[in-house]
Each structure stands twice: as C-alpha cells, then as structure tokens.
Amino acid sequence: MKNTESTAWRFFASVKLALFTLLILATTSIIGTLIPQGKPPEFYIEAFGPRTAMIFQMLDVPNMYSSWWFIALLLLFSNNLIVCTIDRLPNVWQMVVLNNLDTDPERLEKMPHRQVLHARGDTAALAEIAGGLMAKNGWKPQSENNPAGSLLFSQKNAWSRLGVYAVHLSILIIFVGAIIGLALGFKAFVMIPEGEATDTVYESGSSKPIPLGFTVHCDEFNVSYYDNGSPKEYLSVLTVKDPPSNKTFTRTIVVNDPLNFKGITFYQSSYEPMRGFHISITNKADNTRQNFRIPFGEKIPWPGTGIEFGVINQQTRSRMGDVAKIKVWFSDGQGEPSIFWLDNNATETITSPAGSYEFKARQVYATGLQVAKDPGVWTVYAGCTLMLIGLYVAFFLSHRRVWVYISKEENTDRCRILICGTSNKNKIAFEKEFAALVECLTHDSTFQNA
C-alpha cells in the first residue's frame, strides 16, 4: 500500500493539515462573534457602509456559520479525520490483536523495562511457577513452550489504543447527527392565545407554515413573579389532540421542561398579552356563575339576567401591553351602573339594590412556543458520550505489556529469566508496576537476581 499512496492521500492524512484546519476554524469563527449574525441587509449597510456590506454579502458573512466556505472548512476537517483514520487504524488494530507470544526474543532484549533473573530447573516447570506468580500480581499470562525456551505474556488495556479513534469517530457522529437534524428536522415558532388551538407552526426565519398533524390547544398561560418583580416562572397548560391515534392529553410546560409528542418538542419561549379578558361573574344570591372571554371596550350581556358589563379603560405596565389595572363598567339594570378600577387577576365585590356579585377579571395571554423537530439530537448525544469516554480512555488508560522469557543458559544448569515490558503511555506509573512484578518474582526463592 505504502508505495501506491498518492500525494493527495498523504496530504489529507497529515496531522499538519489538521493543525492548520483547527487554527483556521478557530480564527474564522471569531468573525461571527464580532459581526452580528442573521440581521437584514440594511443593518450591515448602516453599520459598515455599502462597500463593506457588499463584500459581506458576497462572503455570506451575515450567516457565516452556514456559508459555503465555512461548510467547506468543516468538510475538509472531516475528510482529514476520515483519511487519517483509514491511514492509521489498520496498524493500531494490528497492535490490539497482535499475538505477542510471537515476539522475537531479540526484541525482548531491547524493551524499555528489563530485568534478568536466574533459576535452576527446566524451562517448562519454571514457566509454571512464574506464571502463577504473575497471575497473583495481576498479570494473568498466556504461555508458549519451545525447545529453546518458554515465553509468558500478559497485557492490560490493549483496546485502549482505540480510544483516540473513538474520539475522532465521535466528532463524525456528531456531524452526522447535525446533518440529520438539518435535513429532517425543523425549528419553528407559534403563538397560541389562551383558549385557542393550532395545527400549524411557522418555520423560524422563513415563516413557512408547517402542519403538525395534530392540534395543540393552549388552556392557560401564566407568569409568576418574585417579590422583587422579576419573572419566576412562565407556564403553559397545553392540551394535545391527535384524532388519528385517538389520543388527548394535557400537560404543563415551563422553561427547561418542554413537551414532546411524536418527535416534535414544544418549548416555553415567550408570551404576548392580548387585548381581551377572561371574566368570571358570580351572583352571590344563588351562587350562579358564568365565565366570559371578552374583547376590550365592548358592552357584553349575560343573557337572561339583565347584567351587562365591559372593560372601558386599562393601564399597562410594560410596552408589551401587560395590563396592570382595568376600569370596569357593570350594570344589572337596577340603579346606577358601577364603574371601578380593578387589578389584573383580582376580584371585586359589587353591590347593587338587587343583590351582590363577585367580579373577577384576568387579561388574556398568548403563549409563545419554540417548536423543534430534531431527529438527529440522539445521534449527537451518542457522539458526545462516545467523545467523553474516548477522551478518558485516550488520556488516562495505557496499553501495558509484560513478557517473561525463560531460556536454558549455555554451559550451565541454570535458566536465564528475562522479565521485560513496555507501556504506550504514562511510563512513570508503569515503571512502578513493573518493579512490583519483578519484586513479586524475586520474592519467591526459586528466582534469584542475576
């Protein structure tokens, strides 16, 4: 394979290219944090002048993270990763599955960690004893007996060599997840006034309608506040109706706790006060109660009772139009009509010659829902998990190997015992482990230091 490799292959397999791409990605990413993204063209003309704005548009700077050149950089990066992996993985795989009992005795003599001992006896019997001691020390050995000598081998975490590739693969998995999300998912938005339902949401940016295939009804929206007036919780009660599956259910959502149905997720995202009110009137004489939803500034009758009422004025507390107080006009046809100010969401008791009533008013809100379908998100999360596991393995685990080679010494009745080992990482820790193994063998009276 080596001599057929083209220059292009070498180029895409090189880590130099990876360093270059990483640094280019890092520097170009800065642009989008300095120049506001996703604004209308006029914004850039105003802020940077027409000439610069034109260059910006040409280079897609206003949406740089989805521009052709940024995507091209990401493709280069992925390509680099894939080629580099194909280039190296076979060798690494060889290392993982290697039969280390085949190791040439000459190579054993050159291992970074070595110790030579001596013992009397024949090689196979000594190998038996040494093997037992190795196992006791946590190195369960495989062995092979030859006329020339006996070789024992044991290793730990051979598979940890694949950690790096798990990390690299995880990056590609995350990209795949992102692409699945872009291709098959959507990001959308919808405003649903209380008491109303929708079966359509609107794509972010383009506002293209997207049919849901089921309906979402907003039963209620509520903001609660802390004592200092800052918002504590935005809450919507939603009812989902799905005629095909005959399913209807109601669920409360808040920020950070969305609703998911059929792969589509609804996030509490904003709200809008509407020009309308929920009114509830109770006739205290017979405890009859009636609920109304009324617009602002209209006279509304309660049929069959002679009662008429309306909201004739309001005070808002924010530019959005949250109502703080409303002015109510109320008459049951007896005596003078009552006119009074009432806090939003408060109750007032009205007395007239004919009886007394409890009057409650609450402004109507619309809940703003972010709607997302992202079938790629679990792929992305799987990639993230793999990345963390891979990083841990790549950084903190090492492939450690030890051999014990027992051979007849020429012209004596002794055997020579070579203990040797190597670790692909974290040599200092391995040195200690190796010393412990040697110690364990020399501790047995069979083996003596050379």
Contact positions vs ligand HEM (CB under 6 A): 15, 18, 22, 77, 80-81, 84, 88, 164, 167-168, 171, 391, 394-395
- What residue 80 binds from another protein, ligand HEM, none (CB within 5 to 8 A, per partner kind)? ligand HEM
Task: Report, in Å, the least distance between residue 371 CB and another protein.
Answer: 7
Q: Supply the minimum distance, in Å, between the C-beta of residue 402 and another protein.
A: 24
Q: Which does 33 bind (CB under 5 to 8 A by kind): another protein, ligand HEM, none?
A: another protein
* Radius of gyration of the chain from its Cα atoms, rounded to whole angstroms: 38
CA distances from 22 to 25, 29, 78, 86, 421 (A): 5, 10, 11, 20, 36
144 makes contact with another protein (CB under 8 A): no
Residue pair 305/285 in contact by the 8 Å Cβ criterion: no
Q: Taking CB under 8 A as the rule, does residue 23 contact another protein? A: yes
- Looking at 95, 391, 397, 440, which residue binds another protein (CB under 8 A)? 391
Whole-number Å distance between alpha carbons of 96 and 114: 22
**Using the 8-state DSSP alphabet, how is residue 55 labeled?**
H
> What are the start-end ranges of the E strands in 332-434?
338-343, 346-352, 355-373, 400-408, 414-423
Q: Does 380 bind another protein (CB under 8 A)?
A: yes
- Which of another protein, ligand HEM, none sits in contact with 81, Cβ below 5 to 8 A by type? ligand HEM
Residues 279, 48: Cα–Cα separation, whole Å = 52
Q: Is 16 in the site for another protein (CB under 8 A)?
A: yes
Distance of alpha carbon 38 from alpha carbon 56, whole angstroms? 12
CA–CA separation, 362 vs 348, rounded Å? 12
Question: Binding of another protein at residue 328 (CB under 8 A)?
Answer: no
Task: Quickly list DSSP for 263-286.
Answer: TEEEEEEEEEEEEEEEEEEEETTT
Q: Which stretch binds another protein (CB under 8 A): 12-20, 101-109, 123-131, 244-252?
A: 12-20
User: Considering beta carbons, is residue 73 or 210 the nearer one to ligand HEM?
Assistant: 73
- 447 binding partner (options another protein, ligand HEM, none; Cβ < 5 to 8 Å by kind): none
Instruction: Kindly state the smallest distance separating residue 388's Cβ from another protein, in Å.
Output: 6
Please choose which of another protein, ligand HEM, none residue 257 contacts, taking the beta carbon within 5 to 8 angstroms, the exact cut-off set by kind.
Answer: another protein
Are 101 and 144 in contact by the 8 Å Cβ rule? The answer is: yes
What is the total count of residues that contact another protein (CB under 8 A)? 47
Contact 294, 308 (CB under 8 A): no
| Contact call for residue 72 and another protein (CB under 8 A) | no
Contact 323, 313 (CB under 8 A): no
**By CB under 8 A, residue 178 contacts another protein:** yes
Position 420: which residue type? C
Contact positions vs another protein (CB under 8 A): 15-16, 18-19, 22-23, 25-26, 29-30, 32-34, 37, 65, 178, 187, 226-228, 230-234, 254-258, 265, 267-269, 370-372, 374, 377, 380-381, 384, 387-388, 391-392, 395
